[in-house]
Structure 1
């Protein structure tokens, strides 16, 4: 009996297949669990304690959480409550992780702003100036400090208010520190005159321009931006001015009443200090009124801040500071300039 060769081939294939006990591996790169998401909301629970914030986790598909609060503290709770110990901006991060190691992250910025939590109140009288504050925050301790210079301050009062006798034409740098029962701290600086609080308008909604720029540009190490950065350890330097018309200017989006200003001398080379200058005001940038004029002024030491006042009750859009002469140099430098609104008698 003759068998068909095809029969033998099929039988051999079946035999080889049945003799193998190995199976082809099944590769599955897909996660067995859904990937996590990360999201949260936050709120101040008690307006009397704005430093304590409740974070509510609205994430999904997670097994563990990691929180960081941008103040060297962390939490692994699902929805923690956290107390910040100072004012400022804090980038709060939430990381969620599932059991397979997949993770997601969410960031939100929490801002605690002193000016939104407290308001300074100045009450001038024949007996002097009384400073106090208004706040809805629970305060456990109040401290009023007077700045003697950039490095030194002394404690003036630990009462809810502070009383000062400030001679006309003089100014006092001060600040108040409020501490809550949980130890959170907020503070506020103030420049005071005999009639109340001096308002700083230097960076209030305006365009700041200069006639001559530092060779490295506005934002260079000694560029014009350093003139109004509120830091007396930096300075603006311009060389080769000679006899050209040299000025800097503020153009406010809304007209402002300015009746004072401060100048801080540079760190070296007193021959670059301003000697003669005018302060001018305008509402069209073309027609100018001289508001204050100074000649033969002298800065007796380096990084010395002097405050000048003048009579003005008219709001102007433009204010120009025209430096007519330096002490002797063709170059100019100044560490800081501030535009001020001084309190006036009511």
Structure 2
């Protein structure tokens, strides 16, 4: 029997045709796929303005000036976030806040702008103290650009002889408080607004009114004789606002020691303060000095105050039973007739035993 090894042509062509069609389909599908297109990035621009609310000192309006944006993210520096275009935000307390705006474009590109917003409590809230017809009595008041919900005062009246502190409080908007003549006292004021914001300030006060330390606002400082042997106790320590550092000069001054401060504009100093040293009893305390002022660059000087002590600071405190706290103490001297000067100097004529040391010297207006 003969076996036929040739397949019929029709049977052979069927699979070949099928393969051809499949190849054609694949080829066609490849041609139909779109080629990748490079997307041009759209770069946004972040920009904005900040406007204070005229009726509330802790509320601000933020206006976006962004370009090419589809999404905004505001951060106000106090853990709060907004996606509004032009949000309004009320801060709950004072401080230095970093405000940022992140802008996103439709291609996902981002841009950021940052700016600092300082809410200074002493610029937002002011306390006033006016003399009344009662001797050594002051009436306090509050100035703030906001609606006041509540006020809390704490007054620390310091006895000028014993330094004993008597603390009183008040919730009045206009409390009346009396102080001892020659005393240097302090108070704090906390105001809560109707929006829940809280602002606190602390001030010093005498029987003449509120006293503000202006020492650090000086634009020039010099002394006639400095401690060049020890920079840790040189004249710069006298006004560094650090009660633990001191200016020491451990021999007699060759002449009058002039400690001079220059201010950008004339200031009427109402009182000054001297913090005594940390050892040596009163031997290094100043004994006689003048406070003088000048408005002609130091060519001529006018007397503002003069003191001649019969007992030093530490010895005086010991004499009234305060031996254990006789050091690191402030002594305050009111100016009888304050006048405005652009330059002040503390002219030390003598000390109790030649050498000199003082921790801090301060001027108040």
**Is the structural similarity TM-score above 0.5?**
yes
Aligned to 1:139: 148
| Comparing 190-199 and 263-272, the one that deviates more | 263-272
| 8 A contact 1:271–1:329 mirrored in 2 | no
TM-superposed deviation, 1:37: 0.9
> Which of 261, 285, 292 pairs up with 1:274?
285
**Greater fraction helix:** 2
Q: 2:245 corresponds to which residue?
A: 235
Equivalence map 1:293-332=2 (5 Å): 293-295=307-309, 296-299=311-314, 300=317, 301-326=326-351, 328=353, 330=355, 332=357
Structure 1 residues 241-266: Cα deviation after superposition (integer angstroms, max 9, x where no partner): 54234332122344333342012234
- For 1:102 and 1:329, the matched residues in 2 are separated by 73
Summarize the Cα distance change of 1:313–1:185 in structure 2 as closer, same or farther, 3 Å threshold: same
Instruction: Determine if the alignment matches structure 1 residue 87 to structure 2 residue 98.
Output: no
Query: Are the equivalent residues in 1 in contact too, given 2:284–2:355 (CA < 8 A)?
Result: no
Task: Mark the runs of 5 or more structure 1 residues left unpaired by the alignment.
Answer: 1-20, 342-346
200-209 vs 128-137, greater mean Cα deviation: 200-209
Whether the aligned pair in 2 keeps the contact of 1:214 and 1:238 (CA below 8 Å) is yes
The whole-number CA distance in structure 1 between the counterparts of 2:64 and 2:265 is: 43
What's the CA shift string for 1:162-186, capped at 9, x where partnerless? Answer: 2112122223211211111232122
Structure 1 contact 177–186 (Cα < 8 Å) conserved: yes
Where does residue 252 of structure 1 map in the other structure?
Answer: 263
CA deviations over 1:64-109 (Å, ceiling 9, x no partner) = 4343323344444444332212223322122223355533221223
CA contact (8 A) 1:274 1:297 kept: yes
CA distance 1:78–1:225, shift in 2 (3 Å): farther
Residue 33 in structure 1 maps to residue 41 in structure 2: yes
Partner of 2:189: 176
Alignment check: 8 A CA contact 1:93 1:107 kept = yes
Residue of structure 1 aligned with 2:180, choices 167, 172, 179: 167
Provide TM-score, normalisation by structure 1.
0.74
**1:197 and 2:210 aligned:** yes
Give, in angstroms, the shift of residue 308 of structure 1: 0.8
- CA RMSD, 1 decimal: 3.6
